[in-house]
Amino acid sequence: MTLAQATADSLAIAAQGLTYRVAMPNPCNHLFEVTLQISDWQADRVTVQLPAWTPGSYLLREYVRHLQGFQAQTTTGQPLPWRKLRKNAWQIETQGHRDLQVSYQVLATELTVRTNHLDRSHGFFTPAALCLYIDDWRDRPCQVEIIAPEDWTIATALPAIASNRFLAADYDTLVDSPFELGPEQTQSFTVLGKKHYWRIWGGSLNSDRLVADTTRLIETEAQIFGGLPYDHYWFILHLSSGGYGGLEHRDSTVLAFDRHTITEPEGYRRFLQLVAHEFFHLWNVKRIRPKALEQFDYEAENYTPSLWFSEGATSYYDLLLPLRAGLYGVNTFLEALSKDLSRYLTTPGRTVQPLSESSFDAWVKLYRRDAYSDNQQMSYYLKGQLVCWLLDLEIRHHQPDRSFDDVLRLLWQRYGQPQEVGFEEAELRQIFSEVAGVDLTNFFDRYVDGLEELPIAEAIESVGLKLQPQGSEHPSHGLRLADEQGRCQVKFVASNSPGEQAGLMIGDELVALNGLRVTAESFTRRLGSCQAGQTLELTIFHDDQLQSRWLTLAEPQPQSYTLRLSSEATPEQRDRFQRWLGLESQS
């Protein structure tokens, strides 16, 4: 078949579905102008709607708040009556017309991986936040035509059927295919016979180093699953001041990072972890996914208890993969794991919210953090990562020749290729038991569904490590203070801490300690002369009322933890350490 024939066939298919024309005649007003053409509609009415969220970011984000200027008409310009059914849905009376046109504008001022952004320098859109859909036609093909400034080019994983036209097999595929538009250059490279692309807005990086490091990550991840399950893949990176995040897609990812820190050693390490994380998702989540995420409901929450695995395993591997790829060494790996352990062990919410509940409640908690969240919540990313690490060591304990890699391969064989069917939580847990050769029900009951402290000490000892607490020489009080506009503000009060027992609350202003003016800095300094058990008088403003509180200090508590290789590790422990990190293959 010739290219012309293929293009003609693609256009014929697209004519049976939806066609979106996305224009940006004045990028400085930050408005995408969208025209949706509905072809060959047979009924008297049609309802179009906008998703409330996008897959991979589990919060109802109410994208419709940015939509304005809705109109409906025939393709010849005749207005059609319509009414709004609910906040994100419009019902149009077709009046016997089969070909319809809907137009509207979308304000694009949010530079995140899950929203839309348009200015004079570039345009970016997440289709879920821009493209209306017809629920009964979600399986129909979608064509997208981009009308951009003359010197702008288009980056998207969707196949092009013309210079500025792209075709999605269905609406779900469209939602999974973000668009980056602008004058920035595209860096292409080939890995394992597949084309890959970097598209960077907002700054630049050493392209040779970036391509070399990305290549090693791609090759390392492909080894786990036995190849790459796509024809091509796009990395879209937005560099800005303070940016950070990523959102996975089937054949692409969108990344955000701080342009000032990405060139620093620590910042670049974190960036490589982010790349490894989002790329790993093309298997874990996009093709190996919980049953609840097999078919999306774009208007409501899609609940699953399995995000601890979908995100936690991915977070565990984003630590391991750069090490396996030789992009950093063991000491850097242990430093990064130490930081994650420190975050976990200093979060009071780990004793309140079970991991499976954290997964299920992502929609109302994880993305809606407040000042009290650390006392009430436990991130399924963080604890999920540590649980997956412990499961890896548990498997290796029972089956020295197996590991978490074997769990991933088995999931890929049964639920990934080629059928891509969702797994139930019970099926996921059964695979872990199958690979370990023992029943792990008790492990899941205690550490995923329950609130028992994770057996970290036993796990690290098995591989010859020690976890060293880094304490404070000052007595413990459970307060987090910050100086803001000349005032010492209480920003956090830990559960069951001396600060909580004293009745302090977030938002209180600390004025004096034992009758003398205090700042956040001087408060810590003055504790140096205090002892555990000592009671201090705090003068505060609570709701503009001057009050006194009595704070009884407790024993010093660890502020962080550091993993170190034990000098007393046995040869067997050292061997397990080497095998765990794959170091025996590098020696």
Read off the pLDDT of each residue in 29-49 and give the average, rounded to a whole number: 97
User: Mind listing the domains of the chain with CATH numbers?
Assistant: 3-183 (2.60.40.3650), 185-282 (1.10.390.10), 288-470 (1.10.390.10), 479-556 (2.30.42.10)
Long-range contacts of 84-87 (CB under 8 A, 24+ apart): 85/47, 87/62
Cα 291 from Cα 425, distance rounded (Å): 8
pLDDT at site 423:
98
pTM for the whole thing? 0.94
pLDDT at site 584:
66
pLDDT at site 418:
83
pLDDT at site 419:
87
Average pLDDT, the chain: 95
Contact 390/313 with Cβ under 8 angstroms?
Answer: no
pLDDT at site 528:
84
Is the per-residue pLDDT at 104 higher than 80?
yes
Q: Is the preceding peptide bond at 418 cis, omega within 30 degrees of 0? A: yes
Cα–Cα distances in Å, from 53 out to 64, 421, 529?
10, 22, 53
CA trace torsion 449, 455, 456, 459 (10° rounding): -120
pLDDT at site 2:
45
Spatial neighbors of 562 by CB under 8 A, at least 6 apart, are 338, 467, 468, 470
pLDDT at site 22:
98
Cα 490 from Cα 500, distance rounded (Å): 11
Read off the pLDDT of each residue in 302-314 and give the average, rounded to a whole number: 98
pLDDT at site 12:
52
For 119-129, the pLDDT digits (tens) are 999 999 999 99
Cα 546 from Cα 509, distance rounded (Å): 9
Is the per-residue pLDDT at 515 higher than 90?
yes
Nearest 5°: phi and psi at 55?
-55, 140
Banded pLDDT at 532 (limits 50, 70, 90): very high
Contact 337/343 with Cβ under 8 angstroms?
Answer: no
418 vs 177, residue with greater confidence: 177
Cα 284 from Cα 306, distance rounded (Å): 12
Read off the pLDDT of each residue in 461-487 and give the average, rounded to a whole number: 92
CA angle 497, 502, 503 (to 5 degrees): 100
For 3-15, the pLDDT digits (tens) are 444 445 554 554 5
